[in-house]
């Protein structure tokens, strides 16, 4: 059962249906998933969450899919480790590090967002998944697409390091090098998404993709005994 009401512009609050849209046609603001939180509150509790498997889908009602996830069943719920030695060095009372370097399948925080986007793409009838990337996202898109049997295309700046390209090619993705900056690659992908009807996780599927990042917050709160941390420091890669 879905708990989505649709999409809503973050800037002007104009509402849209649950489609492959990512920019408001009125103000060009970003679109976000709008949930029915009253309905969620009636079915979801800490006890229900704690009874589920240790992965990001334990927060299923707070993620933008209508059915069961297609991929990423082992993604998320990564360790929250107390860094006692670093606490002393920095002079803070409590310091924890969220270790997403053990995520599945590509040891990257991108596995969260991609598994949500790919699951949603399959529900929406997309037959090809794609992305613009400079590394980690490409690997995760290729791996998750392979896991559910979808063809995948990855568009990268042509001078990307060979080691990153190899990490994507091993999953069978078609990698296309574009002579230009990442911004130029991204703009080209926007045109391709419209022309061929492909599901680009970080373009026309971005509202759903972005929801996967929220599971960081849900997990941290749960792993701290349902307490909010006073501060969260986020690496710019996940800014």
pTM for the full model? 0.93
* Residue 176 domain-assigned (yes or no): yes
Residue 235 is predicted with a pLDDT of 76
* Residue 156 domain-assigned (yes or no): yes
The string of DSSP letters for the chain reads ---EEEEEETTT--EE-SSS--B-TTT-PBEEEEE-HHHHHHH--HHHHHTS-SSGGGGGGGSS-SS--SS-TT-----EEE-HHHHHHHT-S--EEE-GGG-TTTSSTHHHHHHHHHHHHHHTT-S-EEEE-SSHHHHHHHHHHHHTT--EEEEEETT--HHHHHHHHTTT-EEEEESS-HHHHHHHHHHHHHHH--EETTTTTHHHHHHTTHHHHHHHHHHTTS---S-----GGG-
* Residue 1 domain-assigned (yes or no): no
Quote the domain boundaries for residue 174.
125-206
CATH classification at residue 173? 3.40.50.1100
Predicted confidence pLDDT, tens digits, the chain (239 residues): 789 999 999 999 999 999 999 999 999 999 999 999 999 999 999 999 999 999 999 999 999 999 999 999 999 999 999 999 999 999 999 999 999 999 999 999 999 999 999 999 999 999 999 999 988 999 999 999 999 999 999 999 988 888 889 989 999 999 999 998 888 998 999 999 999 999 999 999 999 999 999 999 999 999 999 999 999 988 766 65
* Residue 96 domain-assigned (yes or no): no
Count of domains observed in the chain: 1
* Residue 189 domain-assigned (yes or no): yes
* Residue 88 domain-assigned (yes or no): no
* Residue 44 domain-assigned (yes or no): no
* Residue 41 domain-assigned (yes or no): no
């Amino acid at each position: 059962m879905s708990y989505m009401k649709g999409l809503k512009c973050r800037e002007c609050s104009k509402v849209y249906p649950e489609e492959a849209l990512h920019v408001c046609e009125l103000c060009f603001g970003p679109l976000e998933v709008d949930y029915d939180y009253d309905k969620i509150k009636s079915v979801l509790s800490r006890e229900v969450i704690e009874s589920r498997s240790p992965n990001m889908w334990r927060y299923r009602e707070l993620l933008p899919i209508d059915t069961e996830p297609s991929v990423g069943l082992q993604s998320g719920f990564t360790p929250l480790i107390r860094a006692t030695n670093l606490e002393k060095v920095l002079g803070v009372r409590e310091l924890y590090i969220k270790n997403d370097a053990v995520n599945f399948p590509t040891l990257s925080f991108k596995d969260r967002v991609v598994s949500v986007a790919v699951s949603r793409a399959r529900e929406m009838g997309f037959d090809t998944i794609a992305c613009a990337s400079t590394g980690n996202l490409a690997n995760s898109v290729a791996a998750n697409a392979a896991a559910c049997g979808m063809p995948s295309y990855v568009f990268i700046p042509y001078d990307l390091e060979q080691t990153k390209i190899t990490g994507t090619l091993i999953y069978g993705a078609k990698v296309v090098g574009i002579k230009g900056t990442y911004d130029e690659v991204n703009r080209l992908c926007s045109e391709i998404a419209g022309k061929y009807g492909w599901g680009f996780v970080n373009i026309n599927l971005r509202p759903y993709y972005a929801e996967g990042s929220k599971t960081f917050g849900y997990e941290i709160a749960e792993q701290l005994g349902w307490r909010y941390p006073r501060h969260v420091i986020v690496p710019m890669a996940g800014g």
